[in-house]
Structure 1
């Protein structure tokens, strides 16, 4: 398991990151701290593999923590999750070895993509001692520009296996009753627009049956799960 420390001063954002992380296999949460000072103390006591790091925090900021980690040659990777969107901070983070940079607000899909990429790279480093150029090009270097090859081969562009799994789990919990896009979005903390894409795809596969209901305001699409068709998505999960 990849051990993760969340360094985020906003308790609500920290909780969302915690929930998102819980939905992705292969990761375990080691702790949550709200200040750089507390993060330093945590790292002195506990070994973690990955830090999900905010920039703007009281006292020292996240980039100062990243400097601290690199100066001490700590064997820990960092993904920035922050509202800091200016060129200087982004360049500084990347020059200090941040493996990814997520700008708030972001969708779960982007979070999932970052974590899956990191997990794939970690697995590759654990598997090999010596690399060929094609190993680096396909598994490490090119991973920063595009979704993993597994994702692009199995699902349409913009959809990810981990998000599909989350949505399928919630749909199964409906136990055959009608549900709407809004209901799935509220249960998964995924945007309505993104959920709609997955429901449309599942409808195309025949896994869901779609119906349109007219009432007060805009028409609403409702869906029903066809349990006997779930095998259509089993290869993606």
Structure 2
């Protein structure tokens, strides 16, 4: 069970957010705060896994609170839930290690997706610390868990077609070795630019894995192969 502190200056909004958290399996609300000072006092006196934090607080901003936590060595993960959409604020949130940034107003499903991805992150980190570390593959999985379904890569917009994607996957799966974009294009009977666009999309969504082959000179050649199935050794 993960302990959550809800911080919002609006009492009604804090109650709603707390109710959303309580409805999500694996999470419990251990308190609500309406100022940065109240939140800091609660964090000083009890363990909190996750801070559900608004940016606009009456005494100091949410990100100022996060900066104070980091300076004091308080280890608490943060999901921002705020109406603030300024690029500078979003950039600062990234720099302070905020895991998710959810813009108000949002639905229960929107918050639940972020909470569930956070729970998956914690499970993945726990598994890794238990001795199942697998290098880059494990690191990629850890970073991938902070993405939600809404963050999944979109298909290529211009001229995208499912049959072409299926054809490229078939070509890659039938090959005995990783293929370059040029080789995929030749075998599929499509242009190299089209092959490259689809290959990048398939790599982004985890269907393919990228490797580099270095020649005597020039840039390394990108080569693509089917991504290993989860739990399958390389």
* Residues 146, 50 of structure 1: alpha-carbon distance in 2 compared, 3 angstrom cutoff: closer
- Partners of 2:13 and 2:94 lie apart in 1 by 22
- Which residue of structure 2 lines up, in the alignment, with residue 69 of structure 1? 69
- Partners of 1:52 and 1:85 lie apart in 2 by 17
- Which residue of structure 2 lines up, in the alignment, with residue 136 of structure 1? 139
Q: Check whether the contact 1:117–1:147 (CA below 8 A) recurs between aligned residues.
A: no
- Partners of 1:115 and 1:77 lie apart in 2 by 11
Number of equivalences: 147
- Which residue of structure 1 lines up, in the alignment, with residue 35 of structure 2? 35
Query: Displacement of 1:12 after TM fit?
Result: 1.1
- Partners of 2:137 and 2:149 lie apart in 1 by 17
- Partners of 1:146 and 1:9 lie apart in 2 by 27
Task: Describe the SS at the equivalent of 2:149.
Answer: coil
After the TM superposition, which residues 144-223 of structure 1 pair with which residues of structure 2 at under 5 Å, given as runs?
144-147=146-149
Higher mean alpha-carbon deviation, 56-65 vs 120-129, is at 120-129
Largest Rg, 1 or 2: 2
**Aligned-residue CA RMSD (Å):** 1.4
After the TM superposition, which residues 57-96 of structure 1 pair with which residues of structure 2 at under 5 Å, given as runs?
57-96=57-96
Query: Displacement of 1:57 after TM fit?
Result: 1.1
Question: What TM-score do the two structures reach when normalised by structure 2?
Answer: 0.60
Ranges in structure 2 where 5+ consecutive residues have no aligned partner:
151-234
- Partners of 1:145 and 1:124 lie apart in 2 by 13
Query: Displacement of 1:136 after TM fit?
Result: 2.1
Structure 1 stretches (4+) deviating beyond 4 angstroms? none
- Partners of 2:49 and 2:147 lie apart in 1 by 22
Query: Displacement of 1:147 after TM fit?
Result: 2.7
Query: Displacement of 1:61 after TM fit?
Result: 1.2
Q: Check whether the contact 2:114–2:148 (CA below 8 A) recurs between aligned residues.
A: no
- Partners of 1:119 and 1:146 lie apart in 2 by 12
Query: Displacement of 1:141 after TM fit?
Result: 1.2
- Partners of 1:48 and 1:83 lie apart in 2 by 24
* Residues 78, 19 of structure 1: alpha-carbon distance in 2 compared, 3 angstrom cutoff: same
- Partners of 1:141 and 1:125 lie apart in 2 by 10
Ranges in structure 1 where 5+ consecutive residues have no aligned partner:
149-237
**CA-to-partner distance for each residue in 1:124-143, whole Å, 9 max, x for gaps?**
212222532212212x2123
Q: Check whether the contact 2:118–2:146 (CA below 8 A) recurs between aligned residues.
A: no
- Partners of 2:17 and 2:148 lie apart in 1 by 22
